[in-house]
């Protein structure tokens, strides 16, 4: 089982879109794939069509169980929901993640996600973890649980300035808590090859010897359509340019 986390502390850079579409492309290849949604916004959970207002167990319940707030004893499998897509499952988020964060942090539960995912080792080939737009308890738990991370970059000057701080934060966590954590690279999202600024920003990252992945993701209105139809792009529009780019990205990551 390989566990990848998609992380950037900046909001709106494409974390949920990228983690969901990579997971969907992975499932389409026949790999048993789990998405873990750690963001209280629940965007990824909704994107794959799971309604967490139903009486289902979520990743928040998994954390609640570790502090004894949950009366029943549940196993790792109990926090997983099927999706409408073959080979694709999700550990859904719920808004309660925000309410319990302080308590979890003060009780040092950052390692519990890693322990839970380890129990699923023989059931999944790949796990994709979507993180909130903060270097907070949940992002740290994800980076501790994962084998590798990828960083979406939205071709914005503020993002370029923030990338060193981001990598410093992750490297510190790696050395303290997860020495095996590998950086798979920076994924350029919403790339517009006709405009100068994105090209300059990407060239500057490469000049600084930052690990920019070869595949770039274009900007497309199809992303919003895909969100609203709750169908990841590889299922909604397999021959669309952006779906093909997600396929290429997955191939690049998988080697």
Ligand X SMILES: Nc1ncnc2c1ncn2[C@@H]1O[C@H](COP(=O)(O)OP(=O)(O)OP(=O)(O)O)[C@@H](O)[C@H]1O
The residues of the shown chain that bind Mg ion, judged by CB under 5 A, are 15-16, 43
User: 4 is in the binding site of which of Mg ion, ligand X, none (Cβ under 5 to 8 A by kind)?
Assistant: none
Bridge partners (DSSP) listed for residue 35: 90, 128
Closest approach, Cβ 122 to ligand X, in A, equals 30
Closest approach, Cβ 8 to ligand X, in A, equals 6
Q: Which is nearer to ligand X, 66 or 220 (CB)?
A: 220
User: 220 is in the binding site of which of Mg ion, ligand X, none (Cβ under 5 to 8 A by kind)?
Assistant: ligand X
Closest approach, Cβ 110 to ligand X, in A, equals 20
User: 40 is in the binding site of which of Mg ion, ligand X, none (Cβ under 5 to 8 A by kind)?
Assistant: none
Q: Which is nearer to ligand X, 105 or 225 (CB)?
A: 225
User: 224 is in the binding site of which of Mg ion, ligand X, none (Cβ under 5 to 8 A by kind)?
Assistant: ligand X
Note the Cα 124 to chain centre separation in Å: 16
Q: Which is nearer to ligand X, 11 or 82 (CB)?
A: 11
Beta strand 33-37 with 88-91 is: parallel
Burial letters 179-189, b for 16+ CB under 10 A, else e = eebeebbbbbb
Closest approach, Cβ 73 to ligand X, in A, equals 32
Residue 200 CA to residue 186 CA, distance in Å, equals 15
Residue 143 CA to residue 152 CA, distance in Å, equals 15
Residues at the contact surface with ligand X, assessed by CB under 6 A? 11-17, 39, 41, 43, 133, 189-190, 217, 219-220, 223-224, 227
User: 217 is in the binding site of which of ligand X, Mg ion, none (Cβ under 5 to 8 A by kind)?
Assistant: ligand X
**Long-range contacts formed by 222-231: CB under 8 A, 24+ apart:** 223/17, 226/21, 226/47, 227/17, 227/43, 227/47, 230/46, 230/47, 230/48, 230/49, 231/49
Distances (CA, A) of 131 to 70, 75, 140: 23, 22, 9
Closest approach, Cβ 219 to ligand X, in A, equals 4
User: 98 is in the binding site of which of Mg ion, ligand X, none (Cβ under 5 to 8 A by kind)?
Assistant: none
User: 82 is in the binding site of which of Mg ion, ligand X, none (Cβ under 5 to 8 A by kind)?
Assistant: none
Tell me if 155 sits within 8 A of 14, measured CB to CB: no
122 phi, psi to nearest 5 deg: -90, 0
Closest approach, Cβ 245 to ligand X, in A, equals 8
Q: Which is nearer to ligand X, 12 or 211 (CB)?
A: 12
- The side-by-side arrangement of strands in the sheet containing 182-191 is 81-82, 88-91, 33-37, 126-130, 2-6, 148-153, 182-191, 212-218
Q: How big is the CA angle at 204 (ends 144 and 171), to the nearest 5 degrees?
A: 15
Closest approach, Cβ 169 to ligand X, in A, equals 16
Q: Which is nearer to ligand X, 3 or 15 (CB)?
A: 15
């Amino acid at each position: 089982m390989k566990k990848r986390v998609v992380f950037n502390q900046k909001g709106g850079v494409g974390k949920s879109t990228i983690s969901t579409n990579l997971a969907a492309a992975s499932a389409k290849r026949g790999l048993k794939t789990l998405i873990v949604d750690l963001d209280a916004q629940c965007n990824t959970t909704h994107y794959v069509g799971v309604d967490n207002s139903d009486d289902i167990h979520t990743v928040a319940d998994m954390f609640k169980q570790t502090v004894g707030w949950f009366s029943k004893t549940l196993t790792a499998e109990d926090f997983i929901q099927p999706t409408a897509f073959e080979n694709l499952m999700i550990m859904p988020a719920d808004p309660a993640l925000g309410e319990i964060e302080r308590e979890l942090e003060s009780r040092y539960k950052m390692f519990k996600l890693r322990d839970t995912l380890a129990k699923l080792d023989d059931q999944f080939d790949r796990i994709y973890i979507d993180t909130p737009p903060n270097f907070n308890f949940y992002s740290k738990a994800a980076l501790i649980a994962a084998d590798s991370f990828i960083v979406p970059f939205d071709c914005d000057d503020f993002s370029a300035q923030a990338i060193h701080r981001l990598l410093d934060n992750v490297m510190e966590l790696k050395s303290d808590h997860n020495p095996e954590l590998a950086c798979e690279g920076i994924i350029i999202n919403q790339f517009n090859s006709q405009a100068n600024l994105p090209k300059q920003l990407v060239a500057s990252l490469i000049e600084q010897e930052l690990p920019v992945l070869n595949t770039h993701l274009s900007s497309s209105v199809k992303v919003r359509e895909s969100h609203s139809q709750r169908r990841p792009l590889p299922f909604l529009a397999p021959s669309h340019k952006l779906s093909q780019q997600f396929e290429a990205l997955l191939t690049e990551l998988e080697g």
